[in-house]
Amino acid sequence: MTAVLPPYPATPALPAPRRLTRTEDGERLHALLWTPGPGRRTISSAVLGGGIGPRAWILNAQVAHGYRRTDPERHLASLAADAGVHGQGVGLMTAADVSAHAHARDAGVEAFVTAGVDVRGWAARPGEGAEGAPDPGTINVVVAVPAALTDAALVNAVATATEAKVQALVESGYDCSGTPTDAVCVVADAPAPHRETHAFAGPRSLWGARLARAVHRAVRDAVRHETPAPGY
């Protein structure tokens, strides 16, 4: 007997981002802005709006190489205000050119990835970590699921997205698990009465499998034009 999978919406789980351009210190920089709409919530490791909760917008902002501001949260909030969005949002940073982002879709899941892999390595290595705000992340993953997920499933989705990212990097010839400051943001519907809420988002679950394939393809596309070299 063939299993019947639940239908997924014809409309994107996350609309295409609005592209923004600004000039800072004489340098032309770009940003991507998403507005998920009501009834959605996010889980994110972003410097602004991280954690779990409803978020009105997601901003992935390019900053200059050698970025040294000590108030990235305020900087991102200011950029969002300049773009005309309000309320709580998620703000990510990267030195990569976000106008060259990659996008992949799988059965209703939408994944957007910006990537710069000049500084990379394996997560587990000898030596102590550093305290304080890290440099801007260079592989940022924004992925949306058109289904309601529990808190645990949201955490599961972040792990799945990270596993798919590492798989894509290794298959693309990169001897690394990522960069030291990668960030991820998962968007999903908020649980509501009389609506199915999914408790799992691992790579073999229904929505986790779709998420993994979308992130895997988007990361591979994002790093396609980079030149692999030994990580450090």
Q: Which pLDDT does position 167 carry in this prediction?
A: 97
- Rounded to 5 degrees, φ, ψ at 114 are -115, 140
pLDDT tens for the 232 residues of the chain, in order: 555 565 666 678 899 999 999 999 889 999 999 999 999 999 999 999 999 999 999 999 999 988 888 999 999 999 999 999 999 999 999 999 999 999 999 999 999 999 988 888 888 877 766 665 555 558 999 999 999 999 999 999 999 999 999 999 999 999 999 988 899 999 999 999 988 999 999 999 999 999 999 999 999 999 987 655 544 3
Q: Which pLDDT does position 231 carry in this prediction?
A: 43
Q: Which pLDDT does position 108 carry in this prediction?
A: 95
Q: Which pLDDT does position 84 carry in this prediction?
A: 96
* Short-list 24, 93, 30, 28, CA closest to 58: 93
Q: Which pLDDT does position 135 carry in this prediction?
A: 55
Query: What's CA 85's distance to the chain center, in Å?
Result: 19
Q: Which residues of 111-135 are buried (b: 16+ CB within 10 A; e: fewer)?
A: bbbbbbbeebeeeeeeeeeeeeeeb
Q: Tell me the whole-structure pTM to 2 decimals.
A: 0.90
Do 120 and 164 meet the contact criterion of CB atoms below 8 Å apart?
no
* Short-list 145, 89, 114, CA closest to 31: 114
Query: 133-171 pLDDT, tens per residue?
Result: 555 558 999 999 999 999 999 999 999 999 999 999 999
